[in-house]
A and B are shown apart, each in its own frame.
Chain A
């Protein structure tokens, strides 16, 4: 017997066979496809309509804009889930239903295509993407809307690897430090307008609970609005890879009631620069005590291109040190912190952070003989060794 008999009407002329077998294919669809479609729909109902869906859900939105994005996400998610279950079910069904049985060497019907089907499965996706695009566009107009008269303006400045939040109308500035991520404090229910600027490379201002991020780009100011809807603390982080300590560039947004916010502003004004703690040298640590009797030893150090110009310094023991620090990095903050033994040791002196180009003379109290490390608090990769003898 010829095992190929049912299959090859067009073996002599494959071109001709294309038109012939199509009808057989479309007749063949119903039984299998209907079962598959029903199965997929059933799975979908379970997945989408159950109120307890927790798979692939964004955080509960904490802003008006975030709520719009969340609604849009749910639309896209349902469309994607329907397509996912339908197509995966079709693949699995076809693979299982039409597997080759042992000993079966018959050639299946040689179907070359079906133009009607091609048109259908082109047109339906076009319609779906057109609708989803239109909805996305409308939501974008909501999310991207910028108020002409925002209640509060904040200037956010990103730099390697910290954030600075300036409230121009309140006269308050917050700068983060490695051990203390900065907080952006805002009142609940009011429109806050953020303008983003970078002093060096590109960063990304991202708050997951707002379902929003915007790049912080040097040479360009990006502006967006957000209207927080609930009181609370929401963590944020830089999302655009910005170099060595990108992973530590964190911040949080603290949403307070209007009264609490006003109180915070008053308090923040009272402590002019809360973040760059101008710690005086802890006198208890310097072994020899005061030692202010003699002339202070003069030492100089400068920072350029996010690096100290000297990897090692030396100073006499038991004498106060006058450290002249020159920051040559335009617009970038640096300081000098002196630690006992190594950069992870106890800090014995913390200098004020200065934003370049600028010079500052630090009065470092007398130090006991030994090895110290100096580090820039903003850029922990800037280190050097100080030998006191």
Chain B
């Protein structure tokens, strides 16, 4: 019968490179996602260093306004769309099928397509640099500034095309995650036994599927405005400049949760394991995640309080309200550590970095929810501080925590813990040096996105501190690169379950075989591997 014919085809030997290029294995695709996103992290980081170097002192020392505007625009575009979002999708890809006991994603080939769209899109976006200048309107690309009249270069068109491709990748990935989580869970894994990371990826996927098509439509309209004589966003032709902001933020505010919810999921896997306790208030945590997802679609106009075009009290209230489920999560994480047995591994340190810094990102965001206060701080460096406390203090710390946590599963070797702790300390100090002074700069009146400032403004010292901090962050990445290099070449070999994990990925080998599991433990809670370990331990000692 046909089954005997299939086996030789599947085991045909292939070269390593060909295998990576054509793989549909979610684990390899996950690693590809993580690797390519990390390269874009380095690219975005270099662009950030260029921006910080220019701002270290007043006057233009290293570049003109034209280059500066391209650099900060592409820094944000690369970091948001080519690093944080795909990086978290990479964790989802690698970990979620393992966590739910599935052999692969539901649509492996679509999964490969989702990934390969990203390097293509990233290349298209960056091509602007060699074709007369990249996009330079800020990552928000406000129209009419982004119209052909004011931004005539091809860079902006390339930016639009790249972003549409990234959006397509996200939508395909979102559908894939939803089907995988709904249809491919192992027997016994009910929805309320789903690991929290899988829950956050699920809610994120819903946000992606509802939000990204709106951004795609907006981008197509902008493309028509620029190239085919449309005037959707140009008041000179009967369009509306604020319309762009509405459709853009309808996606891009939920996008903040797309970049934060899976990070919360990662932290929620790390803290229980290194506290040796279950996550406190599992169901409350799930409901809080769903609430953030739902409220996330009703707060977009808080980016537009100063336009004079939105009904302020409604969006103000919803923005305040979304702080509540986030607060619930914070208390649940702390309660998880309470009375625990906390081990300060590098992964746990990064998770603690997430808790302490994301808290600031939540609190300094609450200032903007208060509309008159937002009038004072909107579009200043306060907002730059806010987004970085959310996306660096939050997402990036969680990402490094996740890398230290799952590296042994991916490669069978641990990353060096000492190097990891050095990296954490330097990064934590550098991060706060860079971004905390920006609160003060914002209150003093320094607008964002300026290439230069007056030496009389009194912003010199704080800008210099921020620049030094920025280079400290860059320095903290070096031990990580060295760490990955030496660990892959001969790191400490560890067993299948080096951290005494809770979830199913720790029940298979490191790295896992194709299709992941030979057999699965019994699933009777959200911690099947914990249950199995301690039931066996209990039997062994006659408990």
- A associates with B: yes
Is A281 in contact with chain B by the CB < 8 A criterion? no
The answer to whether B341 and A204 have CB atoms under 8 Å apart is no
Query: Beta-carbon contacts of B372-395 to A below 8 Å, as 1s and 0s?
Result: 110110111000000000000000
Could you mark each residue 98-120 of chain A with 1 if its beta carbon is under 8 Å from any beta carbon of chain B, else 0?
A: 11100010111111111001100
Specify which of A4, A58, A98, A125 is in contact with B537 (CB 8 Å cutoff): A4
Take A76-B373, A214-B306 as given contacts and tell me if A240 and B334 are in contact as well, using a CB distance cutoff of 8 Å: no
- Is A324 an interface position by the 8 A CB rule? no
Residue of A nearest to B326 (CB): A125
The reply to whether A76 and B367 contact each other, CB–CB distance below 8 Å, is: yes
Of all chain A residues, the one with the shortest Cβ separation from B331 is A121
Count A/B pairs, Cβ under 8 Å.
Answer: 296
Residues of A within 8 A of B525 (CB): 14-15
State whether A247 touches B451 (Cβ < 8 A): yes
- With beta carbons under 8 angstroms apart, the residue of B242, B280, B375, B449 that contacts A213 is B375
Specify which of A11, A87, A110, A214 is in contact with B330 (CB 8 Å cutoff): A87
Known: A113-B284, A200-B150, A208-B444. A4 touches B452 (CB 8 A): no
B323 at interface by CB-CB < 8 Å: yes
Report the interface size for chain B: residues with CB under 8 A from the other chain: 98
Query: B370 to A76, Cβ gap below 8 A?
Result: yes
B193–chain A nearest beta-carbon distance, Å: 9
B534 touches A107 (CB 8 A): yes
Q: Does A305 contact B (CB under 8 A)?
A: yes
Chain A positions 1-37 with a Cβ under 8 Å from a chain B Cβ: 1-2, 4-5, 8, 11-15, 25, 28, 32
Count residues on chain A whose CB falls below 8 Å from chain B CBs: 98
Contact of B65 among A58, A83, A245 (CB under 8 A): A245
C-alpha spacing A76/B369, complex, angstroms: 10
Say whether B241 faces chain A, with CB atoms less than 8 Å apart.
yes
Q: Tell me the A122-155 residues at the B interface (CB within 8 Å).
A: 122, 125-126, 129-130, 132-133, 136-137, 139-140, 143-144
Residues of A close to B280: CB separation below 8 A? 111-114
C-alpha gap A222/B308 in the complex (Å) = 7
Tell me if B359 counts as interface (CB < 8 A to partner A): yes
* Interface flags, A202-214, vs B, CB<8A=1, else 0: 1010101101111
Inter-chain contact A108/B339, CB cutoff 8 Å: yes
Q: How far is the CA of A220 from the CA of B306 in the complex (A)?
A: 13
A240 to B66, alpha carbons, bound, how many Å? 17
- B338, B342, B343, B355: most-surrounded residue (chain A CB, <10 A): B338
Report yes or no: B379 in contact with A239, Cβ–Cβ below 8 A. yes
Give Cα A238 to B145, complex, Å.
Answer: 14
Is the pair A243, B356 in contact by a Cβ cutoff of 8 Å?
A: no
A241-B276 Cα distance, complex, nearest whole Å: 49
- A57 in the interface (beta carbon within 8 A): yes
- Among A32, A235, A247, A306, the most chain B Cβ lie within 10 Å of the Cβ of A247
Smallest Cβ-Cβ distance to A131: which chain B residue: B320
Q: Does B188 contact A (CB under 8 A)?
A: no
Residue A217 lies at the interface, judged by CB distance under 8 Å to chain B: yes
Most buried by A among B240, B281, B448, B541: B281
Segment 309-344 of B: residues with Cβ below 8 Å from A: 309, 312-313, 316-317, 320-321, 323-324, 327-328, 330-332, 334-335, 337-344
Could you tell me the distance between the alpha carbons of A121 and B450 in the complex, rounded to whole angstroms? Answer: 41
Interface string of B504-543 (1 = CB under 8 A from A): 0000000000000000000011010001001101100101
Closest Cβ–Cβ distance, residue B491 to chain A (whole Å): 23
Contacts of B373 in A (CB 8 A): 69, 72-73, 76, 136
Q: How far is the CB of A171 from chain B (nearest CB, A)?
A: 27
A266 within 8 A of B: no
Q: What is the minimal beta-carbon distance from B509 to any residue of chain A, in angstroms?
A: 25
Interface 9-residue window, one of B104-112, B136-144, B205-213: B136-144
Query: Which chain A positions have C-beta within 8 A of B240?
Result: 219
The stretch among A38-46, A89-97, A288-296, A369-377 that forms the contact with chain B is A89-97
Q: Counting CB contacts under 8 A, is A274 at the interface?
A: no
Give Cα distance in the complex from A83 to B361, angstroms: 13
Bound complex: CA A389 to CA B360 (Å): 65
Which A residue sits closest to B68, measured CB to CB? A247
Query: In the complex the two chains form, is B344's CB within 8 Å of A137's CB?
Result: no
The complex places the Cα of A69 from the Cα of B373 at a distance, in Å, of 6
Instruction: Tell me the minimal C-beta distance from B241 to chain A in angstroms.
Output: 5
Q: Is the CB of A202 within 8 A of B142?
A: yes
**A98 with B341: CB separation less than 8 A:** yes
Tell yes or no: B366 within 8 A of A by CB.
yes
Complex Cα distance A28/B284, Å?
Answer: 21
| Extra 10 A-B pairs, beta carbons < 8 Å, given A25-B339, A202-B145, A215-B308 | A56-B439, A56-B440, A69-B373, A69-B375, A72-B370, A88-B359, A113-B283, A126-B321, A243-B145, A244-B65
Question: Which 10 residue pairs spanning A and B have beta carbons closest together?
Answer: A219-B235, A208-B445, A247-B450, A14-B525, A129-B320, A211-B376, A239-B379, A136-B370, A113-B281, A201-B145
What are 21 A-B interface contacts by the 8 Å CB criterion?
A14-B524, A69-B375, A72-B373, A73-B367, A87-B359, A92-B356, A112-B281, A113-B280, A114-B335, A117-B331, A121-B328, A126-B324, A137-B316, A201-B150, A204-B379, A206-B380, A206-B445, A218-B144, A237-B447, A240-B379, A241-B138
Residues of B within 8 A of A (CB): 65-66, 69, 136-138, 142, 144-145, 149-152, 235-236, 239-242, 275-278, 280-284, 306-309, 312-313, 316-317, 320-321, 323-324, 327-328, 330-332, 334-335, 337-344, 352, 355-356, 359-360, 363-364, 366-367, 369-373, 375-376, 378-380, 439-440, 443-445, 447-454, 457, 524-525, 527, 531, 534-535, 537-538, 541, 543
